Amino acid sequence: MRPLIEKLKPSRGYGHAVYLAFNALLPILVLLLVKAELANIAAVLIVLSKWRMFAVQPRFWVANIRANAIDIIIGLSTLVFMMGTLTDWTRVAYVLAWAFWLIFIKPRTSPVWVSLQAWLGQVAGLMAIFSFSSRSQLIVLVAAVGTVCFFAAHHFFFSFDEPYIRLLAYIWGYFGAALTWVLGHWLVYHSFVSQPTLLLSSLSFGLGTLYYLDHFDKLSSLVRKEVLFVLSAVVIVMSLALLLLETA
């Protein structure tokens, strides 16, 4: 079971104000460290901000790491995005987006919001990983993508009380790693988004939508066909782009 350590947040009063202030302060501190070229310290600060993961008995540590993985991925990804730009206004935009995540999106616990959290974490994590693709060995990319996909899938399925959470998370993690292994030899970027990121994001969104609708008995035959058609179109377009690149 997932420990309730992240549930223990004050809901009102002075404690809640302190909680909001800390969440607003963390992105600002990271921005200042990036501007001071202390990105390593910023990364340590992001991890240390989740110190409550280990404020329980050691047998809960692994479960707490899985529960907080998406939040950590969002934080580290934002750090990578800040490091990748030299314009202050872009960095401020990242700070505002991260603060919005911490204050508004992360505390939500309904299946819709948890699904959105998992998807955003996966998208941000993959974009951050492939921003370093030219400086990383393929095996590192494969391992990193597989890890992000695993944590995203685990976060998604947990909100539905899925009995095969870990198995499905491993399957999606393996699929992401395998796709990266194949496409990593011919990386194509659409604007600043690589084709593994686009494919995995599109497939996860479509399959997640189908799972959500089916879980709540809202999946009609028409909707299923529409979603599968869009997913097929994305895969075909990406395959053609890869084919054209290989033959060019």
Q: pLDDT tens, 63-74?
A: 899 999 999 999
Secondary structure of the chain as H, E, C letters: CCCHHHHCCCCCHHHHHHHHHHHHHHHHHHHHHHHCCCHHHHHHHHHHCCHHHHCCCHHHHHHHHHHHHHHHHHHHHHHHHHHCCCCHHHHHHHHHHHHHHHHHHCCCCCHHHHHHHHHHHHHHHHHHHHCCHHHCCHHHHHHHHHHHHHHHHHHHHHCCCCCCHHHHHHHHHHHHHHHHHHHHHHCCEECCEEHHHHHHHHHHHHHHHHHHHHHCCCCCHHHHHHHHHHHHHHHHHHHHHHHHHHHC
Is the pLDDT assigned to residue 231 strictly greater than 50? yes
- Would you state the pLDDT for residue 19? 72
Interior CA angle at 206 toward 144 and 232, to 5°? 100
Pairing mode of beta strands 193-194, 189-190: antiparallel
Return the structure tokens found at 97.
């987006």
In this structure, are residues 198 and 234 in contact, taking their beta carbons and an 8 Å threshold? yes
- Would you state the pLDDT for residue 5? 43
Is the pLDDT assigned to residue 233 strictly greater than 90? no
* For residues 218-244, average pLDDT: 82
Backbone angles phi, psi at 159, to 5 degrees: -70, -10
In this structure, are residues 175 and 156 in contact, taking their beta carbons and an 8 Å threshold? no
Residue 38 burial (C-beta neighbours within 10 Å; 0-12, 13-18, 19+): middle
- Would you state the pLDDT for residue 244? 67
| Spatial CB neighbours of 100, under 8 Å, sequence gap ≥ 6 | none
Label residue 8 by pLDDT band (50, 70, 90). very low
Is the pLDDT assigned to residue 4 strictly greater than 80? no
Backbone angles phi, psi at 231, to 5 degrees: -60, -40
Is the pLDDT assigned to residue 10 strictly greater than 60? no
pTM: 0.87
- Would you state the pLDDT for residue 16? 66
State the amino acid at position 208 in one-letter form: G
Is the pLDDT assigned to residue 43 strictly greater than 90? yes
- Would you state the pLDDT for residue 242? 65
Each residue of 131-180: pLDDT tens digit? 887 677 889 999 999 999 999 999 999 989 889 999 999 999 999 999 99
* For residues 118-137, average pLDDT: 89
* For residues 87-100, average pLDDT: 94
- Would you state the pLDDT for residue 124? 97
Average pLDDT, the chain: 87
